[in-house]
Amino acid sequence: MKYLDEFRDGQLARQLADRIAAEVNPNRYYRLMEFCGGHTHAIFRYGIQDLMPPNVHFIHGPGCPVCVLPMARIDQAIAMAQQYSITLATYGDLMRVPASHRQTLFSAKAAGADIRIITSTQDALTFARQTSTRPVVLFAIGFETTTPPTAVALITAQQERLHNFSVFCNHVLTPPALQAILTDTAHQSASIDGILGPSHVSTIIGSAAYQFVTQAFNKPIVIAGFEPLDVMQSTLMLIRQINDGRCVLENQYQRVVTTAGNCKAQALMKMTLKLRPQFEWRGLGWLANSALQIADEYAEFDAEQRFAVTIKPSEEQRGCQCPSVLRGQLEPTDCPLFGRVCNPENPLGACMVSSEGACAAYWNYGRRA
Ligand code: SF4
């Protein structure tokens, strides 16, 4: 497949592995955090960790939007769907994420709530057009990559006067999360030597958004694509920086990512959304200015204002180590529930459900307890 196969070439991968082996300093460790779940899955799917010398170690970051969504937000969505006569439109990967009291969006749907799976924001708009008297709520989640389609949906709803459409906005921002991890000096900063930076997110916000990693935290960062050769080349670039004592922002994913990003998408986001003063991240806690909410000009499409609910305090699954996995402090196989009680058939935490979750990567690609 053009543009994919060339970045999955086994011979080139072996050459890169040889280059990395030749250049690593055998007297030190290289602890590299890959921020994105997409990187984690590439590392395990293509056996990249096994191609690395034993002193190059990948630490998995929190870059999976489903995994970092706190349980309270799913509880809130379920409560909205149960307490109001609405249609809740959501992406399939959220349906099985555990909420409090062993509930999921699937179990709420089975119990009668009108919850429908969509593949794009356009599907939610279509529901709203088809059923003009019934409220349709888009359960919107994701990093900056998936935020522009939500912005377009809000603009479309306003232009078409779709007054029965609204958005339960859970879009979050990656730079504050990375900042939180690097600030957590007691646990993380000292033990991370370099960062494989977000790729698809960077297509929207641009690589310059991560300059703070080098300036404020003195860590090298390489914006890395998701294909195996991208990850391996980025790893080599980080190792070279670390060996040379350099600390700069580099962009390996230049075929897609620019310094400034997609200015048109940024303008759409700015027009329809604003910073949320505080938002809770699973694993990282409450972070200031780390998420988005509906802008005042689009307030009539804000589901949180239209369908207010009160929920009980959330109940995390006992024993689930997702928060520590998301902070990069534990590997999935360190969780006592991994593979014994928790597996993709019976997921106890979001990291096992999501297609980008670290626990799912370990399970799917063979690193089992
Ligand atoms: Fe949570 Fe399951 Fe992962 Fe353990 S294995 S951290 S229970 S998702």
DSSP string, 80-103: HHHHSS-EEEEEGGGTTS--GGG-
For residue 38, report the distance from its CA to the centre of ligand 1, in Å: 18
Q: Ligand 1: residues within 6 Å at CB?
A: 320-322, 325, 332, 335, 337-338, 342, 348-349, 351-352, 359
**Residue 368: predicted pLDDT:** 58
Pocket test of ligand 1: the residue of 60, 338, 355 to mutate, having most ligand atoms within 8 Å of its CB, is 338
Q: Look at ligand 1, atom 7, and give the residue with the nearest C-alpha.
A: 320
Q: Which fold has domain 5-63+187-199+206-251?
A: Rossmann fold (3.40.50)
List own/partner pairs for 294-299 with CB under 8 A and 24 or more apart: 294/154, 294/167, 294/169, 295/271, 297/271, 297/272, 298/154, 298/158, 298/272
Tokens, residue 46: 């293509």
Atom of ligand 1 nearest to the CA of 349: 8
Residue 175 CA to residue 273 CA, distance in Å, equals 17
Residue spans per domain, the chain: 5-63+187-199+206-251, 67-173+261-306, 322-364
Distance between CA atoms of 93 and 105, rounded to whole angstroms?
10
Give distance in angstroms: CA of 115 to centre of ligand 1.
26
Quick check: 328 pLDDT over 80? Answer: yes
Q: State the average pLDDT for the chain.
A: 94
At 190, the pLDDT band (50, 70, 90 cuts) reads low
Q: Which among 58, 55, 5, 71 is positioned nearest to 32, based on CA atoms?
A: 58
Average pLDDT in the 327-343 region? 93
Mutate which of 315, 359, 364 for ligand 1 pocket (most atoms within 8 A of beta carbon): 359
- Check pLDDT > 70 for residue 369: no
Ligand 1 centroid from CA 125, angstroms: 35
Whether residue 39 contacts residue 48, with contact meaning beta carbons closer than 8 Å, is answered with no
Q: How far is the CA of 64 from the centre of ligand 1 (A)?
A: 14
pLDDT in tens, 85-96: 999 999 999 999
Distances (CA, A) of 250 to 144, 205, 240, 245: 20, 15, 12, 14
The rounded percent of the chain whose pLDDT value lies above 90 is: 89
Q: Which of 233-237, 265-269, 294-298, 309-313 shows the lowest mean pLDDT across its residues? A: 309-313
Q: Which residue of 342, 345, 353, 355 sits with most ligand 1 atoms within 8 Å of its CB, as the best mutation to test the pocket?
A: 342
Two domains, one topology: 5-63+187-199+206-251 and 67-173+261-306? yes
Into which CATH architecture does domain 67-173+261-306 fall? 3-Layer(aba) Sandwich (3.40)
Task: With a cut of 80, say whether residue 264 has pLDDT above it.
Answer: yes
Residue 186: its pLDDT value, please? 52
What pLDDT does residue 5 have? 84
